[in-house]
Structures are given as C-alpha cells and as structure tokens.
Amino acid sequence: MNRRPMLVNVAGAAALLVTACAEPADTPGQDRGPGRVGGTIAIAASADADNLLPPLTFSIQGKQISDQIFDNLADVGEKLNTVGDRGFSPRLAQRWSWSADSTAIDFHLDPRARWHDGAPVRAEDVRFTLALLKNPALGSPLAGNVEDVDSVSTPDSLTARVWLKRRGPDSFFKIAAPIAILPSHLLRELKPDAIRGSGFAQKPIGSGRFRFSAWDRGSRIVLTADSANYRGRPNTDRVIWLVSPDYAAAALRFLSGEADFIDVVRPEYLARVREKGLRVVTTSGSLDYGYVGFNLRNKGGSQPHPVLGDRDVRRALVMSVDRAALVRNVFDTLGLVARGPATRVLPTSDTTLGPPYDTVAAGRMLDSLGWRRGGDGLRSRRGTPLRFSLMVPSSSATRMKLAVLLQEQWRKAGAEVRVEPLEVNTFGAQMDARKFDSFLNAWHIDPNPASVREEWTTAQAAKGGYNVTNYRNPLFDAVIDSAAAEKDAGRSIVLYRRGYRILTDDAPGLWLYELRNAFGISKRLEPGPIRADAWWSSLGNWRVTAARQ
C-alpha cells in the first residue's frame, strides 16, 4: 500500500541535478523576462484523479491538483521540518502566535485572501474545516491530524484560535500544512457524508493560485490562473493534466511533445528522453522507498510463521542480499540503498542501520539454527524446507525484476522463494487480509517522522491497521512514542534513530531502495525549485518560454 503524501537533502537545499542533453538547458527557475506570464503547461499523468476534495482524495493526482485549487494555513519549508513552527511559509495565515501556555495557536489570516467566487476567506472557514475533519461521518484520511484539537474559536473575522488538548512537537505541522481550508459558506448546509457526491465536488471552489476549469474524466483536468490571487498571479495561464491509462501512454505523450512534464522518468526511458533532447531533473532523494515485508505469523494468524517467525532467520535472509547490486541493476543512478523506514531527505535518517551484507555470516547463522543444505543446495530443518512465497504486483515491472533478482540471491543462501505475481487490487487485498508469506511493496512516507508508527507499531498490527507484517515490539513502540513526544528536535532525532535500530535489527522487513525523483521537462518549460516531497508545490511559479507560449 502506498501512502499518499502525499512529496533536498538533509541540509535542506533543494539541490537539482540536471542531466546533460542535446542542447544546454536553462537553469531551472531562471527568470529570463521580468513579469513575463502566459502560456499553458501540459502534464502527462498515468492515471486520473479520484476526486479533487482535499480531505477525501487518496490519489497522488488528486493531491497534485487540489493543492493548486486550495490553500493551507502554512506550508512546510524546503527542510521538511515538522517539529515546532520554524521554517514554515505563510499561506492563508500571514502570521501565527502561541498562547503563553502553548495550549492555543492564533492564526492571523491574510485579509486579501478570497475564494474563487469572490467571498473573503475568514476565520469561520478554519473553524468549519477542522470541525468537519473531526466528524467521523466525513471519513477523511486526514482526521488523525486534528486528534489533538479541542476546539476552534474566532476572536475576530481574521483570527482563528485553535485550542489544543495537548501540544506535541508536530502539532503545528499537522494543523497548518496537510489540511486545506474549505469555504464554509458553500458547504455548511451539506451533511458531511453528502459532500463527496455534491456539486461542489464536481466543480470545487478554493482560494489557491489556480481555479478549477474543467474535468473530462479519463481525458484531462484543466486549471486556469486566478489573476487576482492574494499570493500573486501564476506565471502561466493554464495547467492541463493529460490523463493516460498507464505509464507507457503517459511517457509517449511526453516524448512526442504533447506534454511538457512527466513526474517520473523510469530508468528504461532515460535514453529515449535524452535522445529527444529533453531534460531530466533529479533530486538528491525522495520520500519513496521499496521493501520486502515478512509476515511474522502464518497465513491464518494463529501462530508464528514456520520460517519467517524466527528473528534470526529473517536477519540471515537480510544479510544474504546484496542491495547495492540490486539497486544498480534496476535503477542505475536513480536509486539509493535503503537502510530503514526514514529516507535520506529526513533528518532522522540513519544509513548505518540494519544487518550488513555478509553471506558467510548469514550461512553460519542458518547452520547454527539447524537449517542444513540438501543435495540441491536448498536448506531444511527437521523436514521443514526453508521456503516461502514473495507476493508482488504484476503491474510493476520494476518490482517484478527485483523479485526475480531476490529469488536468485536467496536461492544461493539455500532458501526456495516462489515469486507470486498478483493483479494490484488482489495484491492489496491479500496484504490487508495478511494472507501472504512476504511481499515486495513501495511506500511513500510522510515528512513527519512520527508516521513510522502507522506501519510498524503494535497498535497498527490490529485488523485494519497498516502493520500487516504483524511485527510487535513494546520497546520499539515506547522509544518511538518518546521520540514523537520529545519537543527538543535534537533529542527527538536521537530517539527516532534508536527506534529505527531496534526495528531494523528485528528485521520484520528488508529495506531495499530509495528513489531519487526523476522528472522529465520539455525545453519550453522553466520550472521553479522542486521540493522532494511535492514537485507541484511551486507550480504557480513555473514559466513557459516566451517564444513558445
């Protein structure tokens, strides 16, 4: 399962590496004409949006587009800091202040902000939005962000006072950044469970730099510039998401020149992109990683898995895999070896984690556990073969290739692994039902390091939780809870890294790769700085070359 945000290196610089092409490329974001605006940007999308309502969208396409139509109170900065309120950029809130006892935040709204129907954005909109998210009838995946919110008062029309039940290190982030503010004057008469199917959902009205224009489902989504926006008019007139049924069709639109931008250039397409004289822009890292998850229980969940329920067997399996070779083989320069549940763009990342690659030590460990090789080189113990299946979505060529390479490496270690390709919906259903031995999954993490609890803590091992591996370690839970509650950023990082080490030493998973974002950009397009967690965050600042508008 992929978490959506949905979206620089640890020091916070949005360092972009531009791959050399047929012609020298303009520096991304370079302004070659003061005040120049106009033109249309066409974006190649490999799937349609599910919906454009910020509290209800699950798809990355829905997130990209709704973030242009709606604004949040403040946006996370380039360093992706989620502790306290340092580094955040004002959006609807011009400024903010804390009460003396830190139990309330006053968000002072920009008086220039207007909804696209002309109505002013007011504090009542903030109160309405947070109350709506707390309402279980809405069923928003963002509801967890308002768990610590007690209530919202409005001392005046431009001040929203958010009262907290308790202040955590990430309280400001959870309220200000992931939540888009909604227009109360257009939604307050609707029941929460009716919003998804409302007229507003078909033609959303927000306060962002782009207005909704049209949505031809399965074909295109069109946004137009909000010329009088309080944050400034966008540099382009229109942005169009050209919807394709799959990645290959989207890539063809980019390669043919029909689209100006594609948000993923897969390794197998790099040569073709360069041959066309198009640019490839990569970030130094991302929030995306791939991993193998081991099921610590049998498929019925009644007892430990006969092979993967043993911590030392899992560690030996991890030590048997040459991750560096796998990453080079599959991703070329677009991947990095993963070492744990935090990618390198996060300050909590630790690249020293986990059992090292050591086939000799792995063999000794399996020998000591009684897993002996037979004449065919495969291991067994007291009649039980060292055998398990590896579930993989058949639609992912990348993960299918990785699965075969893993199968080969584990066979050398004496393990018989059966690759089990599944249609993606079946893959997800099997994960949810925990009817698997192991799976090869991709995961998009949140900039907030506390999100590690969603996939690995004991509480999430309950039915319906994200912890489908059935990993349980009270010490890990306690350390991560302490890290999430620690208000000092430095001490919090130390605690997170301690928790990550406990987790990776237990080896409920094999972290394989981190992706470097690779974007394809046409020569007519001048993008602004591209943030690792959300390339679209500065879309309003992108320009179309004057001669090619």
What pLDDT digit, counting tens, does each position of 297-348 carry? 998 788 999 999 999 999 999 999 999 999 999 998 889 999 999 999 888 9
Answer whether 94's CB lies under 8 Å from 108's CB.
yes
What is the C-alpha separation between 357 and 147, in angstroms, rounded? 42
Instruction: Write the pLDDT tens digit of every residue in 369-393.
Output: 999 999 999 999 999 999 999 999 9
Q: Please, which residues have CB within 8 angstroms of residue 447's CB and are 6 or more apart in sequence?
A: 7, 76, 80, 82, 173, 287, 346, 533
Within the chain, which residue ranges are assigned CATH 3.40.190.10? 33-70+208-284+518-548
Task: Give the separation between CA 359 and CA 364, rounded to whole angstroms.
Answer: 9
- Residues 283 and 15: their CA atoms lie apart, in Å, by 6
Q: Give the global pTM.
A: 0.76
Separation CA 16–CA 269 (nearest Å): 19
Percent of the chain exceeding pLDDT 90 equals 71
Report the percentage of the chain scoring pLDDT > 70. Answer: 93
Question: Where do the CATH 3.90.76.10 domains begin and end in the chain?
Answer: 74-187
d(CA 93, CA 179): 13
CATH superfamily of 74-187: Dipeptide-binding Protein; Domain 1 (3.90.76.10)
pLDDT in tens, 55-108: 998 788 999 999 999 999 999 987 788 888 988 999 999 999 999 998 999 999
Please spell the DSSP secondary structure of 433-445, one letter per residue: HT--SEEEEEEE-
Q: Where in the chain is the domain with CATH 3.10.105.10?
A: 288-515
Instruction: Tell me the pLDDT band of 511, cut-offs 50, 70 and 90.
Output: very high
Helices (H), 413-473: 424-433, 453-456
Got the DSSP string for 223-260?
EEE-TT-TT---SSSEEEEEE-SSHHHHHHHHHHTS-S
User: Are residues 24 and 279 in contact, defined by beta-carbon separation less than 8 angstroms?
Assistant: no
Note whether 290 and 442 are within 8 A (CB). yes
Q: What is the sign of the dihedral through the CA atoms of 375, 379, 385 and 390? A: negative
How would CATH label the architecture of 33-70+208-284+518-548?
A: 3-Layer(aba) Sandwich (3.40)
Other beta carbons within 10 angstroms of residue 182's beta carbon come to 26
Give residue-wise pLDDT tens across range 201-242: 999 999 999 999 999 999 999 999 999 999 999 999 999 999
Distance CA 256, CA 235 (A): 24
Spelled out in words, what is the top-level CATH class assigned to the domain 288-515? alpha beta
What's the pLDDT score for residue 293? 97
Measure the CA–CA gap between 115 and 70, rounded to whole angstroms.
9
Tokens encoding 74: 């403040």
CA neighbor of 444 nearest in space, from 267, 263, 180: 263
Rounded average pLDDT over 274-290: 90
Strands 387-393 and 416-422, how do they pair? parallel
Query: 86-94: long-range contacts at Cβ-Cβ below 8 A with a sequence spacing of 24 or more?
Result: 87/12, 88/172, 88/173, 88/176, 88/177, 91/231, 92/121, 92/126, 92/181, 92/207, 93/176
